[in-house]
Structures are given as structure tokens and as C-alpha cells.
Structure 1
Amino acid sequence: MSGSRLSICHFLAQLCKGSKGFSSLTEQGIDPNHNAYEGNKQLGKTKRGDGYISRGRGFIPITGRYNYDKTGEDLYKDLIHHPEILASDILLALDSAGLFWTQHGLNRLADKDDIVAMTHRINGGEHGLPDRRLF
């Protein structure tokens, strides 16, 4: 992180939204048998059950087998076989969020106060944008 006040505010706002007000580090409402993630090859979900197993976890939720594998490599953790640790280890969840933030150039967008572009980069759309602005 750049350390600017604006960047820190945006970082915390995105973490707050991604964790439902810092109350949960696991994506809720995902049906183990029927969900939009199942079979999504773009997310690296190639095995039956991957959609549920690699649902969003962390402060900036990591989603998908590919992203779990890449993040695990970067943080020296086996997230493929132990995806639950992104939700049970708060320091790992913070490290994961910081890694995502840095790797995706979010400081630059935060310093420009471009919350729309940040939100797109984090979740591919404008999901929760009003909450992100509020936070």
C-alpha cells in the first residue's frame, strides 16, 4: 500500500464490504450442489465440487481453484487442500488482501479516488458499490 490516507480508507472500505462488515470471511449463500461457480473454467474450476470448495474466502474474497492455487503459492500455503484457512486465519486473510491489492494496482486507483475501477478490479462489476462508498 502507498500509505496515503485515501488509499488506506479505500483499502479498509473494500475489506469491510468483502467481509460483510468484518463479520465473515466466507462467502455466504453458496449451495454446494447448485451454484454459479461450479464448472467455471475461467476460475480454474475443473473438478466436481470446485465451485463450493473454492467459494470466496478472505477480506477480499479469493474465488476459484486457480486463484486459490496462485494465492497459496505466493503466500506459501496449501490453499488447494486447505481452502478453509483463508477464513480461519485472520492474518493470512489480511496478507491475501494486501497481496491482491498490490498485485492488481489498487493503490494507484485508490489515490485517484476511483472506487468504481477498484470495485471492477476486485469483483468484475459494481456489486455492492453503494456500500463500498459508504464504508
Structure 2
Amino acid sequence: MKAQSTMRSKKPMKTITAKVQTQLKKKPVKDSQLQPHEILAVAPGKTYGVEKIEPGENGYSKVTLAANSGTFYVVNQDWDGLSGGKTLITKAQAQAIFANSIYDEELKDLNACLEKYQISTPARMRHFISQLAHESGGLKWLKELADGWDYEGRSDLGNVCSGDGPKYKGSGALQLTGRSNYQDFCNEIGDPRIMGGCDYVAKNYPFTSAGFWWKNNNMNQLCDRGATVAEVTRRVNGGYNGLEDREYYYQQACKFIQ
């Protein structure tokens, strides 16, 4: 009788693929803080086999490449195939608060945003998501409804080229607006396609673009001090426009974010 083989079939190798021009880094820090030998440029579409993926901090994952090719840090949102960092809010929670459907890619960006900008305590998350819910009409609007020509020639927004007004009109849940703000966001994320304008940001970074504003305006610190919805609204809006609606979404967020 022929002996049965005890050899197991090999588990398919996990792979990750770069979605944009990005890097493999030896440390989870900005490019400017690394030496040339600590960073490897990666072209869009490049695929690597990986032995291990571990969650990191500030939007990074730690990956051990196959074939003893080394261990590196990668920016979560730049890659397909990562386990994806932390899930700080589930699809069910998000849809219950927004009272609307959220696409998988939008949810992925929302979680990447929450992790990257450390919007990770209940107080921070409740205020952030409730403000976004109001500003986006419960996710109905991730692009400004107006055509953007009112921004044409606005040097205070950096709109110095013909067509900058509509190209860089409000996008994302908090309406990133103007060439200068797009450029700052592009520099932060490291994705040059952001400068393609409103449609690209609204599709790919609807929440991360909002988190960028949130960080720059020290909103986490405000939430940590026990701010009211009115106080958060004043900083987001410059006044109290839509306060009742924002209060409603905040109460919804309190129900589903414990």
C-alpha cells in the first residue's frame, strides 16, 4: 500500500501593491527625517510578496518582505493588500450615524483618517464624525455643489492659474478648497494626483482631506478639553450654522461610539 504524503500544499504568498508613487521606509517617519539608504522609492503598480504585516502607528504598517528582502514601514493608504491598520469604526456604526450608505473604499479611507490623525478616542470620533455628517448632508455631498467659478482668481486660496476655481473647489467631507490647500494636502499625503483636483480628492480622500484640516486646526486638543458641540461648530464653521443638525448627529454618534 502506497504511503500517504503528509506534505501540505503551500499557502499562497500574500502580496501588497502600490496604488500611487510611494516608498518603503526603514522608520515610520516623514521622508525628510530619513537618510537616503533608509528609503526606497516605489512606482505605482509595483507588487511585493510579504511574509508578515503588522499594524504600526500614524497610518503606517510594518511589512516583512518575502525572500529575506527586509522589513519596512509603508503608508497604509498607499497600498492594496495590507491588513489595513486599525478598524476604529465599522460599516454598521458609520451607516447608523450618517443614516446613509458608505462604500467600502470610503470606509477604508475613514478608518485610515481616524488612525493617521489620531482621532481615536470616543470624544474625538463623536465630534469629528458628527461634524462631517452635517457638512456632507449625511454623505450625500462629498463635492461642493457650486461650480467653483466664484473662487477663480482668489489669490488667498492660491488660485493663480486659469481654471483653478472649479478645479480646486470644495472636495471631501469638510470641503478642502483652493490650490494652496490642495498643494499642502498633496505634500502631506505624498500623492501627486491630488493636484488633479476636486474629483480625485472626493473619490480617494473624502475623509483624510477632512482629517488634514482637523489636525491643522488642533481639533483633537479642543475635544480633549471637553468641548461642546457649539464650541466645535464655532471652529469648524466660523459661527453656529446648522447647530441643531450637528447636535442631532452628535447624539447619534454618542449612541454608536462608546
Whole-Å separation in 2 of the counterparts to 1:98 and 1:39: 27
Whole-Å separation in 1 of the counterparts to 2:157 and 2:235: 15
Q: Report the TM-score, using the length of structure 2 for normalisation.
A: 0.45
- The equivalent of 2:212 in structure 1 is 99
Runs of at least 5 residues in structure 2 that lack an aligned partner in the other structure: 1-117, 250-258
Runs of at least 5 residues in structure 1 that lack an aligned partner in the other structure: none
Question: Per-residue CA shift, 1:60-93, capped at 9, x if unaligned?
Answer: 220111101101110112222243211112xx22
Q: Report the TM-score, using the length of structure 1 for normalisation.
A: 0.80
Structure 1: 4+ residue segments shifted above 4 A: none
TM-fit CA distance, 1:14: 1.2
The structure that has the greater radius of gyration is 2
Give the alignment partner of residue 23 of structure 1, picking from 134, 140, 146.
140
Give the percent of matched residue pairs that are identical in Structure 1 and Structure 2. 32
Question: Per-residue CA shift, 1:6-53, capped at 9, x if unaligned?
Answer: 22110111111222201221011x1354x2x22222111222322221
Whole-Å separation in 1 of the counterparts to 2:196 and 2:245: 33
2-11 vs 116-125, greater mean Cα deviation: 116-125
Give the alignment partner of residue 75 of structure 1, picking from 154, 165, 189.
189
Checking the alignment, whether the CA contact within 8 Å between 1:45 and 1:65 is kept in structure 2 is yes
Q: Are residues 1:39 and 2:153 paired?
A: yes
- In terms of fraction of residues, the more helix-rich structure is 1
TM-fit CA distance, 1:115: 3.1
- In terms of fraction of residues, the more strand-rich structure is 2
- The equivalent of 2:202 in structure 1 is 87
Pairs aligned (count): 130
Change (3 A) 1:93 1:118: same
Amino acid at match of 2:216: Q
Change (3 A) 1:120 1:51: farther
Whole-Å separation in 2 of the counterparts to 1:82 and 1:8: 27
Bigger RCO (CA 8 Å, 6+ sep): 1
Q: Are residues 1:129 and 2:243 paired?
A: yes
Q: Are residues 1:13 and 2:127 paired?
A: no
Amino acid at match of 2:147: D
